[in-house]
């Protein structure tokens, strides 16, 4: 005759831990989270631009963000641009000296700065400084329920918080990249005179003659896209904070990492498109 289960046996049976998820289940859950994140990011990016169709417009917030993103990033962008141009002259000049073609230094530095290094380095620097700041600011507002208070008062957080930051980054980054290009050429000309013994007039003449309209458009086009990416990523990470103040720190780190990776990835595709359109459209 079977012995009935004792209460201890029943408790032991009920305390069995569930089986751990399989590798396929973990990968499937990660893929779903990624698809959901891309969907939410796309919605936020679209709404940030759709808010421009109708008012209200927060001009004061836009001007404040242009000051924070543009003027605030100016010192680090100019300093970095100067030394990037100086390093490029040192590296390329040492190679051209072997072939007696040091005069080509201005051509190479100008094209590399305007096409590639100026917009990309500026985008990465502003992403490290401003994308993290945007994420931490909006994340703190979300944790302290300021965003919920805006909704309760009838204010659209997307229109009030996201759109001014996106438009400010979109407008300021091309200006910062242009200044970085100019200061980089200044740094290159200084080093070319001191190190390569080139004439400063010759350096600037060859640098300007080497540039074409397509080169300038390629650099400016990248800057617009990079500004849009870093602002939207920062806003998305800030408004999707979970887990209190610790979540704000994680969102800040993720904003810098994701925006930097997206900027580098977008740079590749934009370069391919620009090289294809060069001479056909601009």
Query: What average pLDDT does the structure give for the chain?
Result: 86
pLDDT reported for residue 233: 94
Cβ atoms of residues 84 and 177 within 8 Å: no
Checking if the pLDDT of 22 tops 60, the result is yes
- Cα gap 71→80, rounded to integer Å: 15
By mean pLDDT, which of 114-118, 132-136, 154-158, 228-232 is the weakest?
154-158
pLDDT reported for residue 77: 94
How are the residues of the chain apportioned to helix, strand and coil, as percentages rounded to the nearest 5?
A: 85, 0, 15
pLDDT in tens, 143-187: 888 888 888 888 888 888 899 999 999 999 999 999 999 999 999
Structural tokens at position 93: 């000049």
Structural tokens at position 273: 């498109």
The CA-based dihedral angle spanning residues 214, 215, 217, 220, taken in that order and rounded to the nearest 10 degrees: 170
Structural tokens at position 258: 């994701």
pLDDT reported for residue 8: 47
Report the share of the chain in percent with pLDDT over 70: 93
pTM, two decimal places: 0.86
pLDDT reported for residue 66: 92
Stretch 110-137: mean pLDDT, rounded?
91
Cβ atoms of residues 29 and 136 within 8 Å: no
Q: Is 104 left (phi over 0), alpha (psi -120 to 50) or beta?
A: alpha
Confidence of residue 16 (pLDDT cuts 50, 70, 90): low
Checking if the pLDDT of 18 tops 80, the result is no
Report the share of the chain in percent with pLDDT over 90: 38
Count helices and strands (H / E) in the chain.
13, 0
């Amino acid at each position: 005759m079977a012995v009935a289960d004792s209460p201890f046996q029943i408790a032991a049976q009920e305390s069995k831990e569930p089986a751990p998820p399989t590798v396929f289940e973990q990968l499937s859950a990660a893929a779903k989270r990624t698809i959901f994140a891309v969907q939410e990011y796309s919605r936020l990016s679209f709404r940030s631009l759709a808010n421009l169709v109708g008012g209200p417009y927060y001009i004061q917030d836009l001007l404040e963000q242009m000051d924070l993103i543009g003027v605030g990033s100016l010192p680090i962008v100019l300093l970095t641009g100067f030394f990037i141009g100086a390093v490029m002259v040192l590296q390329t000049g040492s190679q051209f000296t072997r072939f007696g073609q040091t005069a080509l230094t201005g051509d190479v530095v100008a094209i590399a700065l305007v096409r590639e290094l100026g917009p990309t380095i500026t985008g990465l620097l502003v992403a490290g400084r401003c994308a993290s700041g945007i994420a931490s600011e909006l994340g703190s507002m979300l944790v302290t329920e300021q965003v919920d208070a805006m909704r309760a008062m009838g204010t659209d957080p997307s229109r009030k918080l996201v759109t001014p930051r996106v438009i400010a980054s979109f407008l300021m980054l091309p200006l910062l990249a242009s200044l970085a290009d100019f200061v980089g050429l200044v740094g290159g000309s200084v080093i070319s005179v001191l190190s390569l013994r080139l004439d400063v007039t010759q350096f600037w003449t060859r640098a300007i003659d080497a540039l074409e309209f397509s080169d300038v458009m390629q650099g400016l086009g990248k800057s617009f896209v990079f500004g849009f990416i870093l602002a939207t990523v920062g806003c998305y990470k800030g408004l999707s904070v979970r887990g209190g103040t610790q979540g704000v720190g994680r969102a800040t780190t993720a904003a810098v990492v994701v925006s930097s990776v997206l900027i580098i990835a977008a740079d590749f595709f934009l370069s391919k498109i620009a090289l294809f359109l060069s001479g056909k459209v601009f």
